[in-house]
A = this chain, B = another copy of it.
């Protein structure tokens, strides 16, 4: 074990690291944990952990996410595997990166200054190659959002179209036209118009919408456009 065909002794270690994005205080934020061990003691890092021998990578990612954030049963996707020999200063650690979009309220963050949300636009010094991983995650999220949006993970069960648009705009980093956004949004499969209205202290109340409950296994089933009638 740990010996390859070139007689080069090696012990790769395999981790999963998870980019957890949310919208909070009107900005896109990522969950970080401050490391209290070397290497990179004192730097921030995205949640991660070793892959156990008994679990596959998806399971490892979900377990780690659950352990670190208490979040379960969400849209989790394998992003990319980072394996630069120098990404870890001591040993050879190859990491399989996942990402998830979640509601900040769904996380019970322990009262610990070493765990918290940070604006993607203003990241603190990060351990390892975690900045690269976050940036790659954001790029992929944006690419995907255009085709097959997943932002509903970020919204409450009931939401207004304005809130939905806001979420898109924060992820995409640009503003969108209201009318065009709404036209596209309302022809999204699974979007349900409710007979309720938001009771914010604003002026005119906005109609609430929700998503039909879809089984989380068929990841790509979300946001397929409705059949034409």
Interface size class of A (residues with CB under 8 A): 20 to 34
Task: Verify A8–B52 contact, CB threshold 8 A.
Answer: yes
Name A's B-contacting residues (CB within 8 A). Answer: 1-2, 4-6, 8, 10-14, 49-57, 60, 78, 80-85, 91-92, 94, 96
5 closest A-B pairs (Cβ-Cβ)? A4-B50, A57-B83, A1-B11, A10-B53, A81-B81
In the bound assembly, the distance between CA atoms of A51 and B60 in angstroms comes to 21
Q: Which residues of B contact A52 (CB under 8 A)?
A: 4, 6, 8, 10
Task: Decide yes or no: A11 and B8 within 8 Å by CB, A80-B78, A81-B96 being known contacts.
Answer: no
List 20 contacting pairs A-B, 8 Å CB cutoff, sorted by A.
A1-B11, A1-B13, A2-B2, A2-B11, A4-B51, A4-B52, A5-B49, A10-B50, A10-B52, A10-B53, A12-B13, A14-B94, A51-B83, A53-B85, A53-B92, A56-B83, A57-B81, A57-B82, A60-B83, A81-B81
Contact of A51 (CB < 8 Å), options: B12, B78, B91: B12
